[in-house]
Amino acid sequence: MNRLFVAAVAALSIAALPALTHEAKKGDLRIGHPWSRATAPSAPNGGAYLTVENKGTTADRLLAVRGDVAGKIELHTHTMKDGVMQMRPVEAIDVPAGGKVELKPGGLHVMLLGLKAPLVKGEHFPLTLVFERAGEVPVEVVVDTAGVAAPSTQHGH
């Protein structure tokens, strides 16, 4: 019975590990709930989403995102042109002092171009956010169900 209890606690601890790292902080910035949608095996691209909250009195800017999950990673937005929704790269994403920015499907997001492998529900991958003032902030992106509009769980946060 004792061994079973220890094994159960160990399994739960390992399963909870991504949840423990699902939020990041650096200086006045709080990065919440980095997530992505699962992709089809043949999908060349994917996206990543998160929130950035600036609890400080000085604005910051997200300048870039780095990682090994894709050949190229860009900051993007959606725009409407002639009734057609289009994705376009943006130079940076402003994070106002005392404000919050949400990167989400249909809006600002991280574009993963040339995925090196499919994004599989339940897995996770690292990215590094590069801010003008705060510098580099590593995050773990949790892969959720394909097609969801928001993460299906908040991982206890």
pLDDT tens-digit series, residues 52-85: 999 999 999 999 999 999 999 999 998 878 888 7
pTM of the shown model: 0.81
DSSP bridge pairs for 3: none
60: exposed, middle or buried (Cβ count in 10 Å: 0-12, 13-18, 19+): buried
Amino acid at 70: A
How many CA atoms are closer than 13 Å to the CA of 89, on its beta-carbon side?
9
Give residue 81's identity as a one-letter amino acid code. Answer: K
Average pLDDT, the chain: 86
Say how far apart CA 26 and CA 8 lie, in whole Å.
Answer: 33
Q: Nearest-CA neighbor of 133 among 15, 12, 4, 29?
A: 29
Instruction: For each of the domains in the chain, give its residue range(s) and CATH number, in order of start.
Output: 23-144 (2.60.40.1890)
Q: Looking at residues 34-39, what average pLDDT do you find?
A: 97
Half-sphere exposure (Cβ direction) of 154: Cα atoms closer than 13 Å:
5
Tell me if 129 sits within 8 A of 62, measured CB to CB. Answer: yes
